[in-house]
Amino acid sequence: MKKTHIVLLLLVVISLSVIISVFADFSTYETFSSASKQPGKTYYVIGMLQKDKEMEYDPKKDPNHFIFYAKDKAGNLNKVIFNGEKPRDIEKSEQIVMMGFQDGSTFHCSRIQMKCPSKYKKDMVAVGSSS
């Protein structure tokens, strides 16, 4: 083999390994129970807001603290703490995609994407603080 072929082959191998390492960390949608198996690891969980459960939000006390309950696709009910202000019209959302980590029986959420029922409205995203 020529030296140029060897160098080219090495470049291809290095490029493939970089691409695989970048895409290997992409998360899939999980449930609360699967997220609880690795506490602290960030997951995306799809769920539905439980409107019959209490929601806690007091913007005068702490505008970046919203607590609610959600049920995931498997039917697991979980308490969710969102480090951000309460998303506008969250009660009208069909589904919510929550990005965060499980800590015991609580899911700590840093980002919420709401799936709105109307085909004319775009999905709404709320991003919380990093704390």
pLDDT at 100 over 70: yes
Is 2 a member of any domain? no
Is 4 a member of any domain? no
**Domains in the chain: how many in total?**
1
**Residue range 66-93: mean pLDDT, rounded:** 92
Is 119 a member of any domain? yes
pLDDT tens digits for range 17-61? 888 776 665 557 889 998 889 888 899 999 999 999 999 999 999
How many CA atoms lie less than 13 Å away from 16 in the CB half-sphere? Answer: 6
Give the CATH number, domain containing residue 90: 2.40.50.140
Is 50 a member of any domain? yes
Is 8 a member of any domain? no
**Whole domain around residue 49: which residue ranges?**
27-127
Q: What is the pLDDT of residue 17?
A: 83
Is 87 a member of any domain? yes
Q: Give residue for tokens 């390994």.
A: 17
Is 7 a member of any domain? no
Q: What is the pLDDT of residue 39?
A: 85
Q: Which residues pair with 85 in a beta bridge?
A: none
Q: What is the pLDDT of residue 68?
A: 96
Is 117 a member of any domain? yes
Cα–Cα distance, 37 to 76 (Å, whole number): 14
